[in-house]
Structures are given as structure tokens and as C-alpha cells.
A and B are shown apart, each in its own frame.
Chain A
Amino acid sequence: MTQLVCPFCGPRELHEFEFRKTAASAGGTPVERVYLRVDHPDLSIEHWHHVRGCRAWLVIERNPSTDAICRVRLLGGDAE
């Protein structure tokens, strides 16, 4: 994985982005929300920040076993 496609900026180098947290919540209690993580070897839904670019918050769906990007969308955008 060397690039990500930002909905605003197009394909940009990976170092412009920072991963923040996996998006799926492991449950409803504060402990589950803050500390526990949902881990699927084939699909990871994550929050990323285009911090050294347009600073948009993104929801990225990836396959952590291959690092293939499945889908990128804006956080709080469509269907969020």
C-alpha cells in the first residue's frame, strides 16, 4: 500500500494520511467502545485523517490481509 485515493484530492502518497481507529464498535458499553476492537482478517473498516492534505476524515474499507482498498468515502457523508 503506497497511495490512498482521497475523494477531494485524488490519489495521494500514503504518508499524507494517518490511521486513527477501526470504525466498527465492539459493543455499547464505554469499555467496549473505547478499548475493544473488531478484527476481521478480510475486512477492516477504518477512520483515516488526510492530515497532511485537505484534512478530510475518511472511512476506508480495506482488506488487512492483502492491504487492498475496497472503498473510500467521507466520514459523515453518504450513508454515514
Chain B
Amino acid sequence: MPRIEQAPSQDGNNPQLRNLRPSPRYSALSLLRARFASGPYWRALWTGRALQPAYDVVIVGAGGHGLATAFHLARDHRVGSVAVLEKSLLGYGNVGRNTTIVRSNYLLPENHYFYEDSLRRWERLSKDLNYNVMYSPRGVVDLALSEDELPGLSRRGNAMRLAGIDAELLDVSGLERFCPELAPRRQRRFNIIGALLQRRGGTVRHDAVAWGYARAASALGVHIIEDCEVASVRVEAGFAKGVETSRGYVKAERIAFATAGHTAAIGTMLGIPMPIETHLLQAMVTEPVKPLLNTVVVYVSPGHGEAYISQSDRGGLVMGGHLDGFPSYTREGRWDRLEDVASGAVEVLPQIAGLRVLRQWAGTNDMTMDGSPIIDRLKYDNVFVNAGWCYGGFKAIPASGAAFAQFLATGTAPDLIRGYRLSRFNTGHMLDEPGHGPFPVRL
């Protein structure tokens, strides 16, 4: 690991935080040492640094994907100087707004190989980062509430098994054994008649992912600069030279946008329309209750409702569902959609009907016209984009970071992300996983 010089911290807002030493490598020994150490126990996870005038790679966006990319650039490709520029706070965007679900139960080969690579990385991420991201392989069950939904689930399960990914089609008694709260004896308007289970799917503590990657990247010398908004890209002779930011001009050999949720606006900034609309997705959490749900319940049924439900470690039921359904950057969310999602959740779990909702929030999503992400060059040879994650970007973070870093370092996209090229919209090689044509919202 390279030696890092302590640069003066630039976020001088909090003198207590400023004087914290960087965190040591975590181990049983470091825990024991902390127990008997005098002075403050807390350590800064990443180091505040002054913005330098030039970097090899500038990554725009300190969310999950940007930080993971920075980590892999520094660790796997030994790129000397990397900066991650963030317009607000680290992890303020979708990495802290999702419902923390990880899974690889996709139908199309390009997607299930990619997300399986990601799931395998989730399994060992805590070790890789030396930071506990609380990966909890509690299983993900996709419910069927009608005979018409079962063939779709079974087809998806078979596609996964052909690719060597675990998938089980459960009948009602199998589902009851796996998750007693989903037992058919509960009164429901429509009975649950089966489910597709991926046992290795589950949840990961989302904030810990941002913090863990930031800590590991910072320890490898990556500069993480918060409160630094990129306003434009400076171009000379058809080549991007650097970015104009709210803290001044930064020269960069390569520029990488990992700004999912605002990539359509980045396209506008560069003067290229993108196959993206920006929509809101809401989530909410109920008051905490005793352990109720031992798995992640997914209920997506056109015409019935849509809900993703899991129980957080604190006991609250975390729920998400439909998009709000029209372009918006407000991060507020519409109230009738909250009701839709809650009623979908109550439809499959009637026992939670009396719970009160504690909080509701929304994030902006890059909704692409085929529902699959975009990882490619953008307009200039040295400008790269990692975008279009729709409402599924969280689970993709480890694979996306590794693949995007390889792309940035070598200039060649690894096979894993070949299907995610922007040109697929011109050549007709769409990855239309949801199967509803060139619209981000199911009609």
C-alpha cells in the first residue's frame, strides 16, 4: 500500500472531525486496542483533501458506482492519481436511498452474468474492503399470485439455472417452509400460488457500502472531494481536457461520469440527447417491529400492484415499488404512489396493515429505454459514462466498479459489459429485460 501524505483537510466545518486520524485496518486486534486506548475512539473513514489542479482520472459522482470505480482503479490498475468529485455529500444520492436488495435473478444472459458477477463480489466485499457491509443472504422470493405469473417466473429461473445461478421454484408448501409469514392460510384477496427463490440474494447495508468503498479508496490515495459540482467539460481540438467545477478547473486525462440519476442532465451539458428519462422511485420504512420477515419479498404484478419488502436490522419494514411515472428531479415523490406501494405490500403481507409509516423518501433514476444500463464512451474518446441503472443500480455496484475501472484503465470494455454499449440503440441490440418497449414506465 502506498504511503499517503496527509494533506490539509478542506472541510473545515467541524474541527472535531478534522483532527481525527484515519481509521486503522480493522481486526480483532484493532478492536482490542480501541477498547484500551485513551482518547477518542472514532476515526475518520476517509481523508479530506485539497483539490489538485490535475488528475489521471476524474470520476464525477461519489456514489456507490463512482467510489467502487475509484477503489478498483487504485487497487487493481494502480492508476496514480484519481479524484472523485461530488456535488453534495458522499453517498447522498441513490446509494443511500435504495431498498438495499442484492440479487442476480435476471432473464437475459447479458444481465444475469453481470449481476451474478456482482453478487459473487458482494459475498466477499466485507473482506475485500476490510469493512463490514453486512451482506445478509436471506434470500429473495418473487411471488406469483396468479397462474399466469408462474410460467414467467419459471422461465426466468430456468434461464438462471442454465447460467449456473441458484434458483428454485417453490410451491405453496415450500414457500411456507421457507417463510412462514407468507403462508397461504393468511387471508388475502388473491392467494399466493408459488414463488421463485434465489437463496444467495438478500440485503446489504447501503450506507456501509458507500463508506466502505470511500475508506478503502481513500487509503489507496484516491482524493474524495465533496461539495464540488462539475459545471462543464472543457474541450480542445475534439478532446476533453478537464472539467470546470465549482472549486475551479481540474485537468484530467480521463473523465468518468458515474452520475446515475442525473445522466440525462449530463447529456444536456455535453449537448447529446440520451436514451434516458429521469424518474423518481420512492421508498418508505415502517415503525420497527420484532423479527417478522426472514427474507426479501418481491411482488411485481402488472394490474395488481408492486412492492419490494424486507425488514431492516432495526426492525422497520423497508418497502419500495412503482416509479412515480413522470420525469422529475425533485426527490420528493407523489403521495398516491406511496399508497399504491403500501397497498401492494399489504396485499401479500396482510399482517402488516396496522403498521405506521415512519419515513418516506425518493431518489432520481436514470430510466433507459430498454431498462438496462449504459457503460460506454460518451462523445469524446476520453469521456466515459456509467449510467442508466434504472431502479437497480445498488446491486450492480461491485461489478460495475470493477468493470468500469478496467474500461477506464485499459480503454477496452471487458466482456462483462459489452452488452451495455450505448450503440445498442442504433444497432437494435436492446436488452429489454422488462419487455415493454422504448418507455421507462410500464403502460
A, B: real partners: yes
Interface on A for B, CB 8 Å cutoff? 1-2, 13-15, 18-22, 26-27, 31-32, 34-41, 44, 46, 48, 62, 64-67
Contacting residues, chain B, for A39 (C-beta < 8 A): 264-265, 267-268, 273-274, 276-278, 327
Chain B contact surface mostly: mixed
Query: CB distance B265 to A37 under 8 Å?
Result: no
B441 is an interface residue with CB less than 8 A from chain A: yes
Nearest-CB residue, chain A, relative to B265: A41
Contacting residues, chain A, for B426 (C-beta < 8 A): 31
Measured CA separation A29–B327 after assembly (Å): 23
Query: CB distance A22 to B335 under 8 Å?
Result: no
Contacting residues, chain A, for B334 (C-beta < 8 A): 1-2, 14
Interface on B for A, CB 8 Å cutoff? 264-265, 267-268, 273-278, 325-330, 332, 334-336, 369, 425-426, 438-439, 441, 443
Beyond A19-B441, A36-B275, whether A13 also contacts B336 by CB under 8 A is yes
Beyond A22-B277, A31-B425, A35-B275, whether A14 also contacts B268 by CB under 8 A is no
Query: CB distance A21 to B439 under 8 Å?
Result: yes
Measured CA separation A70–B335 after assembly (Å): 21
Closest chain B CB from A10 CB (angstroms): 18
Beyond A2-B335, A19-B325, whether A37 also contacts B330 by CB under 8 A is no
4 new A-B pairs (CB below 8 Å) besides A35-B275, A67-B332? A1-B334, A2-B335, A31-B425, A38-B273
Measured CA separation A65–B280 after assembly (Å): 11
Nearest-CB residue, chain A, relative to B424: A35
Closest chain A CB from B19 CB (angstroms): 38
Query: CB distance B274 to A36 under 8 Å?
Result: yes
Closest chain B CB from A2 CB (angstroms): 7
Beyond A39-B264, A39-B265, A44-B327, whether A20 also contacts B276 by CB under 8 A is no
Measured CA separation A48–B329 after assembly (Å): 18
Measured CA separation A19–B425 after assembly (Å): 23
Q: Counting chain B CB atoms within 10 Å of each CB, which of A2, A19, A20, A44 scores highest?
A: A19
* 25 A–B pairs (Cβ distance < 8 Å), ordered by A: A14-B334, A14-B336, A18-B325, A19-B325, A20-B439, A22-B277, A27-B273, A31-B426, A34-B369, A35-B275, A35-B369, A36-B275, A36-B425, A37-B275, A37-B277, A37-B369, A38-B273, A39-B267, A39-B276, A41-B329, A46-B327, A65-B330, A66-B330, A67-B328, A67-B330
Beyond A19-B325, A37-B264, A40-B268, whether A64 also contacts B278 by CB under 8 A is yes
Beyond A13-B336, A27-B273, A36-B275, whether A64 also contacts B438 by CB under 8 A is no
Query: CB distance A41 to B441 under 8 Å?
Result: no
Measured CA separation A48–B265 after assembly (Å): 22
Query: CB distance A37 to B325 under 8 Å?
Result: no
Q: Which are the 4 A-B pairs with shortest beta-carbon distances?
A: A39-B264, A19-B326, A26-B273, A36-B273
Closest chain B CB from A64 CB (angstroms): 5
Contacting residues, chain B, for A15 (C-beta < 8 A): 336
Contacting residues, chain A, for B328 (C-beta < 8 A): 1, 64, 67
Closest chain B CB from A59 CB (angstroms): 13
Query: CB distance B425 to A35 under 8 Å?
Result: yes
Contacting residues, chain B, for A31 (C-beta < 8 A): 425-426
Closest chain A CB from B261 CB (angstroms): 12
Query: CB distance B438 to A35 under 8 Å?
Result: yes
Nearest-CB residue, chain A, relative to B437: A34
Measured CA separation A23–B326 after assembly (Å): 12
Nearest-CB residue, chain A, relative to B267: A39
Contacting residues, chain B, for A27 (C-beta < 8 A): 273
Contacting residues, chain B, for A1 (C-beta < 8 A): 328, 334
Contacting residues, chain A, for B327 (C-beta < 8 A): 19, 22, 39, 44, 46, 64
Contacting residues, chain B, for A41 (C-beta < 8 A): 265, 268, 329
Contacting residues, chain B, for A20 (C-beta < 8 A): 439, 443
Measured CA separation A64–B362 after assembly (Å): 14
Contacting residues, chain B, for A44 (C-beta < 8 A): 327
Query: CB distance A37 to B329 under 8 Å?
Result: no
Nearest-CB residue, chain B, relative to A68: B330
Nearest-CB residue, chain B, relative to A21: B439
Measured CA separation A20–B334 after assembly (Å): 17
Measured CA separation A22–B166 after assembly (Å): 40
Closest chain B CB from A36 CB (angstroms): 4
Measured CA separation A8–B208 after assembly (Å): 51
Contacting residues, chain A, for B425 (C-beta < 8 A): 31, 35-36
Nearest-CB residue, chain A, relative to B441: A19
Contacting residues, chain A, for B273 (C-beta < 8 A): 26-27, 32, 36-39
Contacting residues, chain A, for B439 (C-beta < 8 A): 20-21
Query: CB distance A46 to B326 under 8 Å?
Result: yes
Contacting residues, chain A, for B277 (C-beta < 8 A): 22, 37, 39
